[in-house]
Amino acid sequence: MPEVLSAPLVVEFPFTRSLGPVQSAFLTGLRERTVLGVRTVDGRTLVPPVEYDPATAEELRDLVEVAATGTVTTWAWNPSPRRGQPLERPFAWVLVRLDGADTALLHALDAPGPDAVRTGMRVRVRWAPERVGAITDIACFEPYESEEAGQPAPHTGEFTDPVTGIVAPARLDYTYSPGRAQAGYIEALADRRTVGERCPACRKVYVPPRGACPTCGVATDERVEVGPAGTVTTYCIVNIKAKNLDIEVPYVYAHIALDGADLALHGRIGGIPYDQVRMGLRVEPVWSEGGRHPDHYRPTGEPDADYDTYKELI
Amino acid sequence: MGPARDVAVVAFAQSDHRRRTDELSEVEMLMPVLHEVLDRTGLKTSDIGFTCSGSSDYLAGRAFSFTMALDGVGAWPPIAESHVEMDGAWALYEAWVKILTGEADTALVYSYGKSSPGEVRDVLTRQLDPYYLAPLWPDSVALAALQAQALIDAGDTDEPALAAIAARSRDSAAANPHAQVRGSRPQGDYLVRPLRTGDCPPVGDGAAAVILAAGDAARGLCERPAWIRGMDHRIEAHGLGVRDLTDSPSARLAAERAGAFELPHGLKGTGGAPTVDTAELHAPFSSQEVVLRKALRLDGTVRVNPSGGALAANPVMAAGLIRIGEAAAAIHRGESDRALAHATSGPCLQQNLVAVLEGEPS
Ligand SMILES: [Zn+2]
């Protein structure tokens, strides 16, 4: 059993969303220290507001302003905050029904400990010093003894320079392990060898191996060394330069059937003008210094392969 | 009006759920389970009329990861296939509909999840709405804890009662060789108060597969098929502050539409409430069992989660399908005559699916 391979894998993206009229008004309002809700047809005030009634799906546009004070409807004490959460020290997650609202907003409550939190306690918004039009413009809630204040007041929802979109950065960290078959492939590449696996049922050799024959649905188990040379089965000419890719265009991207393999893999063709690449061209891998896979494939100089020898792999 | 055709679960298999499976790719983890249900029925992949799977790219951090898993079912030459980015219970629902419409007579349903590569608490925050919730990164345990506190405030449960649910689940799992956490273990410290480690599901990797078949085909493939008498799924508002977290109207409605509260179909005269003898509930947190027992009107006469439930093994995306599989297997073995299976998805039981399964009198 070879050592299990693993490597860090980070998935990170700016999640960019446009806002509808109601969400735009709400998030712009937060920037201006104003909390807006939306009225339903039956007279309830939803905070945070939504554009369609959760019960009837009716369109909602009737904005109202509610207070920045409210009451905790339920809570949970978080002793170990995780990355991205509103506070770095222990805090309470809370659902807060703001005065004038009929529904509750999820956020964090800054409190010294769980004994200082209870359902029904009075709290108020602590605004972030710099606000951009996002839910994080509310830094958190803080305890605040006060009487419950009044009714929601009508609001146009209009502000100068309204926020029309948000960017919510997302980052997830993984430790990726490729599994048995792919680990064997990667380990062989370290010795500049290419291995596939043979299906016990149909005898086809798959490269790179993924551990299963996609035709028979059984585990592939017999490791087979293939290549190093192979045949171009089909190709395309790339004319657009990809971002961060240090390859001059045009270049040729090809399917290459390595000798002994029953599945073509992908590779770039070099060492030959792009307009002279052809089906049947015999190629071999070129490794760069310290590279963990072939940098590209170049012609071997052999005569072209006969069409019948690779037609099933196109 | 009842379903147009009789459809049954005829085989079920699941992996041994484990904290990590670093040495296996997803398809390598899944394949033994697929072969087990096929072997059990004697079917070959080419005999299967429809294949449907459930999984999530966010668990593995890779796009279109389900296409790799398809290698395990032999997807060439082309097969009739579909995928849901949800728990496999919803894939089973799709397969059931496919058979009801007469477009297939058999279906293979599978699902899998490897939570070990990432942090599942963080991963699940990405299913939340991106405007008001996701930017705050409220993790799955935190949201369940808010629900638990609401239940405690309402007088529906307390911490000792939650601990008893956790203990009972893991005691039951002692007889389940596939479960990840078996037998008694300490409740542990607060993860997010009021939930302790023991109130929360283990994080792990696993897979499950089920074969469905219609009418006489089902009788030929299984000695005592688990007939699906009804199945339904419902959803509630995404915003937690809009919902009453102590109740689950969507689970109740799904159960009602699935016929869970009606007299048994094949066992006339033995009904009454409750009308099931076994319930497999997908309640990853002890507090969620409290909500579901109330919503589904389960009293002390119903065996709840004899498998140990999601508190004993919770492979994300497969745990709901496993509830249907476990309920069906109890009928196959003659341990149950009429069972309720439940699956959930989303924060605080946002979405709920209920199936009612029944064995013919022997
Ligand atoms: Zn094969």
Per residue in A112-167, pLDDT tens?
Answer: 999 999 999 999 999 999 999 999 999 999 999 998 877 899 999 999 999 999 99
pLDDT-derived band at B274 (thresholds 50, 70, 90) equals: low
Q: Given this model, what pLDDT does residue A290 score?
A: 86
For the segment B123-129, the average pLDDT, to the nearest whole number, is 95
Mean pLDDT of chain B: 94
pLDDT-derived band at A2 (thresholds 50, 70, 90) equals: low
Mean pLDDT of chain A: 95
Return d(Cα B9, Cα B95) in angstroms, integer.
11
Amino acid present at A270: G
Return d(Cα A25, Cα A8) in angstroms, integer.
40
Q: Given this model, what pLDDT does residue B269 score?
A: 43
Residue keyed to tokens 């977290």: B245
Using an 8 Å CB-CB cutoff, list chain A residues near B123: 172
Using an 8 Å CB-CB cutoff, list chain A residues near B146: 74-76, 93, 95, 106
- Residue A214 alpha carbon to ligand 1 centre in Å: 7
Return d(Cα A136, Cα A138) in angstroms, integer.
5
Both tokens of A190, joined, read: 């370290």
Closest CA to A141 of A168, A157, A122: A122
Question: Can you list the pairs that B65-71 forms with residues at least 24 positions away whose Cβ atoms lie under 8 Å?
Answer: B65/B26, B68/A210, B68/B25, B68/B26, B68/B27, B69/B26, B69/B27, B69/B30, B69/B110, B69/B112, B70/A214, B71/A210, B71/A211, B71/A212, B71/A213, B71/A214, B71/A217, B71/B27
Decide: A117 and A109 in contact? Cβ < 8 Å: yes
Q: Given this model, what pLDDT does residue B272 score?
A: 43
CB neighbour list of residue A219: distance below 8 Å, 6 or more residues apart: A200, A211, A212, A213, B28, B31
Q: Lowest-confidence range among A79-88, B6-15, B270-279, B313-322?
A: B270-279
CB neighbour list of residue A275: distance below 8 Å, 6 or more residues apart: A237
- Across chain A, the runs of DSSP E, i.e. the strands, are 7-18, 35-39, 45-46, 62-66, 69-78, 91-98, 105-109, 122-127, 138-143, 153-154, 165-176, 194-198, 205-206, 222-226, 230-238, 251-258, 265-269, 282-286, 296-299
Element (H, E) at B95: helix B88-100
Question: From the CA atom positions of chain A, what is the Rg in Å?
Answer: 31
Both tokens of A84, joined, read: 């991205």
For the segment A43-51, the average pLDDT, to the nearest whole number, is 96
Residue A220 to residues A190, A206, A209, A216, A224, Cα–Cα distance (Å): 22, 8, 8, 10, 11
In chain A, % of residues over pLDDT 70: 99
Statement: residue B16 has pLDDT above 60: yes
For the segment B237-245, the average pLDDT, to the nearest whole number, is 94
Statement: residue A1 has pLDDT above 60: no
Return d(Cα A294, Cα A311) in angstroms, integer.
24
Both tokens of A307, joined, read: 């069409």
Using an 8 Å CB-CB cutoff, list chain A residues near B287: none
- Residue B45 alpha carbon to ligand 1 centre in Å: 12
Nearest CA in chain B to A178: B25
Q: Given this model, what pLDDT does residue A55 score?
A: 85
Residue B123 to residues A83, A182, B266, Cα–Cα distance (Å): 12, 25, 43
Please measure the distance between the N-terminal and C-terminal CA atoms of chain B and give it in whole angstroms. Answer: 26
Statement: residue B358 has pLDDT above 50: yes
CB neighbour list of residue A161: distance below 8 Å, 6 or more residues apart: A28
Using an 8 Å CB-CB cutoff, list chain A residues near B139: 82
- Residue B72 alpha carbon to ligand 1 centre in Å: 11
- Pairing mode, strands B106-114 and B50-54: parallel
Statement: residue B362 has pLDDT above 70: no
Q: Given this model, what pLDDT does residue B296 score?
A: 95
Residue A82 to residues A11, B142, B164, B191, Cα–Cα distance (Å): 17, 11, 29, 12
For the segment A98-104, the average pLDDT, to the nearest whole number, is 97
Query: Nearest-CA distance from A79 to chain B in Å?
Result: 7
Return d(Cα B81, Cα B74) in angstroms, integer.
11
Residue B197 to residues B163, B194, B202, B290, Cα–Cα distance (Å): 10, 10, 9, 17
Say what the pTM is.
Answer: 0.95
Both tokens of B132, joined, read: 């008001």
- A176-227 pLDDT per residue, tens: 999 999 999 999 999 999 999 999 999 999 999 999 999 999 999 899 999 9
Hey, is the C-beta of B306 within 8 angstroms of any chain A C-beta? no
Q: Given this model, what pLDDT does residue B265 score?
A: 53
For the segment B58-83, the average pLDDT, to the nearest whole number, is 90
In chain B, % of residues over pLDDT 70: 96
The full length of chain B comes to 362
Interface of A with B in 113-132 (CB under 8 A): 114, 119
- B326 Cα distance to chain centroid: 9
Residue keyed to tokens 């283990």: B202
Decide: A85 and A76 in contact? Cβ < 8 Å: no
Q: Given this model, what pLDDT does residue B1 score?
A: 47
* Best of A1, A19, A30, A82 to mutate (most B CBs within 10 Å, chain B): A82
Statement: residue B271 has pLDDT above 50: no
pLDDT-derived band at B264 (thresholds 50, 70, 90) equals: low
Q: Given this model, what pLDDT does residue B60 score?
A: 87
Return d(Cα A279, Cα A107) in angstroms, integer.
61
For the segment A99-108, the average pLDDT, to the nearest whole number, is 97
Q: Given this model, what pLDDT does residue B204 score?
A: 97
- Residue A81 alpha carbon to ligand 1 centre in Å: 49
User: Peptide bond preceding A208: is omega within 30 degrees of 0, i.e. cis?
Assistant: yes
Statement: residue A175 has pLDDT above 60: yes
Phi, psi of A69 (to 5 degrees): -115, 155
Q: Given this model, what pLDDT does residue B2 score?
A: 53
- Residue A220 alpha carbon to ligand 1 centre in Å: 8
Query: Nearest-CA distance from B227 to chain A in Å?
Result: 28
Return d(Cα A225, Cα B102) in angstroms, integer.
47
- B310-356 pLDDT per residue, tens: 999 999 999 999 999 999 999 999 999 999 999 999 999 999 999 99
Decide: A101 and A138 in contact? Cβ < 8 Å: no
For the segment B242-250, the average pLDDT, to the nearest whole number, is 97
Q: Given this model, what pLDDT does residue A18 score?
A: 96
Using an 8 Å CB-CB cutoff, list chain B residues near A79: 190, 192-193
Q: Lowest-confidence range among A89-93, A250-254, B72-76, B284-288?
A: B72-76
Q: Given this model, what pLDDT does residue A181 score?
A: 94
Statement: residue A111 has pLDDT above 80: yes
Q: Given this model, what pLDDT does residue B268 score?
A: 45
Return d(Cα B211, Cα B213) in angstroms, integer.
7
